Structure formats: structure tokens, C-alpha cells
Structure 1
Amino acid sequence: MAKFDTGMGKEAVKVLSEKTVYDGFFKMYEIKLQHKTFAGEWMEPIRRELFHRGEAAAAICYDPENDLVGLIEQFRVGAIDSEMGPWCLEVVAGMLEEGETPDELMARELAEEAGITNATLIPISRYYSTPGGCNEKIHLYAAICNLANAGGIYGLDEEHEDIRFETYPAEDVFKSMYAGRTNNSATLLGLQWIQINREKLRQGVTEFE
């Protein structure tokens, strides 16, 4: 079995200073730090900018009875230069609020963005989206639900959200997921997980290791 433990944790990092360089819709910090090398020595102090987003949760919606995938569509400024346009097909997702658990966040966002209130949440993974310069941690789920009559326009006006939720035959989504508008990591990871576990889900399995 491969050894994944590097033997270095938080104790191998010294934060020497930290200051906020931007405080708007998101935050940006400038951090001066030292960390140990694999040889066991302390590296010279370095400066890094850290884009602060915090924790988020996301869920790929799947209906095993009807073999349907549900995806939202909304404008994303980060994809403004995409050759396919900045309206991305995505999983339902949101940012964790203070005192909220990832499960609670996901239930709230499923209702707000897709009108779904009775999903069974299956944890898939926890991962950092771009750890080279951003601290966003994503809790990824599969939301197992009935999508037979799902779809519509959702979102909160006070958050300037304009979200369309639609359902698609799973096989059609799988055929185009690498070349189409599902061009973001949480969506691709969620779709891959559904594709791998599709038959088990259709047999009623809801617990996975």
C-alpha cells in the first residue's frame, strides 16, 4: 500500500505575520511564513497571498429510479472568457454560514436553488479546490431524490441569483461531461462518482465507504 503520510503537519509551519490586503465580497490576505523542507530544515521566510473563501458544500442531484441528473445553470464571472460562455452547468452549492453544518447548508441550498426538500445526502469527499492560493474547502455530496417533475427558475433576489434547474438523462450527461459546459471540478467529480456507483444507487444502496 502506498504511503501518503508526509510526516509533516501544522507544526511544520510558522506564520510570522498576516495582514488583510483586500476586504470585499471575498478577502485576500498577505502571509509571511516559514515551513520545514523534506530534509528537515526550516526554509527562509516567504510571502504568499491567500484568497479566503472558507468552507462550501456542493451536491450532484441524481434520481436513480428515473436515471436522471439534475444540474443548475447560472452566470459565473470566473468563466467570462470561456469559449462556451459564462453560464455554467453546475452542482447545487453554497458557502457555509457561521454555526451551520455542511449537511444543513446542503439542505438549505437544495431548497433555494432547486426546490428540492426531500433528498438523501450521501457524502462523497472533502477537498480543497485550489490550495495553491485559496483556502476554499468543499464538502461534496450526492443528493438522491425524485427528479421526475423537477425544474424551474430559482435563487434569492437579495443575493442577485438567477438560477435555472433542469434534469437530464444520466447517459446523455455522461457522454458530454468532459467536453461540454459541466466544466468545473465539483460537477465533474460528482458526475464521475454517480457514473461509478450508478448501478448500486439504482439498486437502492445509500451507504458507501
Structure 2
Amino acid sequence: MTEQKHARPRQFHILDQKRGWDGYFKLDVYRLQHDKFDGGKSAVLEREVLERGHAVALLPYDPVRDEVVLIEQFRPGTLSVQNHYRDMPVWLTEIVAGIIEDGESAEDVARRETIEEAGCEIIGPLELISRYYVTPGCSSETVTMYYGRVDTSKAGGIHGLAEEGEDIRVFTVSADECFAMLQNGQLCNATATIAVQWLMLHRDRIRREAGV
């Protein structure tokens, strides 16, 4: 067993915090110090943090038909990536997701967004997959991810809220096809990747519980 030589740092100190941008997104500027692994303190650091809010993602899966509901939509955060990686898509294949608004629970968001973005209703309880930081080096955003059972027999079409500029293509694939999409790089975003990897581990159990 490797000897643990350094204790985990425990304390951080915010010396100053101010709002640098207050538009559709919020950007806060911090001056701070934190404890170091060697027992000392860091230099005074200035860091910008994108206050994105907290998101919920939902993997819509039909265990009877063994199908996954996926969505495809334009993402502006991909635009500058084209200067470096021309093979990266601008329209991304994703799972359902949305931001938690005031007064909403994560489960409320999962059910609402599944209807708005995919035109499907969740059947029964949700199952928590994970809660994780998206990119903690620069953003406060977390994602709470669930699995929700749906009926894919009528899933498809174009969905989303016009007032939010959403233009979302909904389609279904078999679970095996979805796994192949992950393996060949078509699901090039972390949320979809985590969800599909989870399904690869839990599909048999979910289908047994559904009586398949």
C-alpha cells in the first residue's frame, strides 16, 4: 500500500468576489487562497467562474422495446472548436437536459424537460444515475442525471420551446445501436457518454425489473 504522505487540504479563503458579467450567463471574479497538500497556503489567485446554474439530465429508455430516445440540436459553444477540430460536430446528439429554475426540484425538471424536448412522459419513478461537476476549473455547473422509463412507440419529430429558440430533433435507436454510437465517437459530449455507459451496465437489470 502506498504511504499517504500529505493530508488533504481543508480550507479556502475568499478575499474578494465581484460580478464581472451579468447577462444571460453570470461571471464572478474571485480573489482567493487555499490550503496546499504540503501544509502551506497557495499564492493569492484570481479566477473567473461562470455561474451557469445547476442542470438536470434524463436518459429516456424503453426497456420493453429496448430503445433509447436521443435528441439533436445546435450548440453555440461548439463554434470556436471548429478552428481546431473540424471533425467535431456543431449539431450534437444528446440526451434530455435542462436548468433548474427557482422553486423546482431536480425531478420536476427531469419530467418537464422530457416532455418539452422529447415529447415523452416518464413512466413511474426516476432512478438517480449520478451527480457531477461539468467543468469545475471554470464553472459552478453541476448535473444531476436520472434514468426514466418511457414508451418509445410514438417518439420522434421536432420539439422544443419556440420562445427559447429551441429546434430539437427527436429520434430513437436500439440500445445496441446507441452503444455503437458511443464506441464510434458519435456521442461526443460527457452527459450522453456517462448516461449510455451507465445503461450498458444496467440494461439487463432494468429489463428484468420491467418483466422483459
Structure 2: tracts of 5 or more residues without a match: none
Q: Distance in 1 between matches of 2:185 and 2:38?
A: 44
Equivalent positions of 1:38-77 (< 5 A) are 38-77=37-76
* Distance apart, 1:116 and its partner CA: 1.4
Contact kept, 8 Å, 2:9 with 2:39, in 1: the verdict is no
Q: Distance in 2 between matches of 1:26 and 1:181?
A: 28
Runs of 4+ with deviation above 3 angstroms: 6-9
1:98 counterpart residue number: 102
When the two structures are aligned, how many residues end up with a matched partner?
201
SS of structure 2 residue aligned to 1:104: helix
Residue type of the partner of 1:36? D
Q: Distance in 1 between matches of 2:65 and 2:121?
A: 18
TM-score (norm 2): 0.89
SS of structure 2 residue aligned to 1:32: strand
1:202 counterpart residue number: 207
Residues 1:127 and 2:126 aligned together: no
Q: Distance in 1 between matches of 2:189 and 2:43?
A: 36
Q: Distance in 2 between matches of 1:136 and 1:65?
A: 34
Q: Distance in 1 between matches of 2:9 and 2:103?
A: 30
1:118 counterpart residue number: 122
Contact kept, 8 Å, 2:8 with 2:37, in 1: the verdict is no
Contact kept, 8 Å, 2:67 with 2:152, in 1: the verdict is yes
2:36 counterpart residue number: 37
1:152 counterpart residue number: 157
Contact kept, 8 Å, 2:182 with 2:193, in 1: the verdict is yes
* Distance apart, 1:78 and its partner CA: 1.6
Residues 1:164 and 2:169 aligned together: yes
Contact kept, 8 Å, 1:84 with 1:181, in 2: the verdict is no
Residue type of the partner of 1:117? E
Residues 1:87 and 2:91 aligned together: yes
Q: Deviations over 1:144-169 (max 9, x none)?
A: 11112211111111100001111001
* Distance apart, 1:176 and its partner CA: 2.3
Q: Deviations over 1:63-89 (max 9, x none)?
A: 111110110110011223252431111
Q: Percent identity?
A: 38
Contact kept, 8 Å, 2:114 with 2:122, in 1: the verdict is no
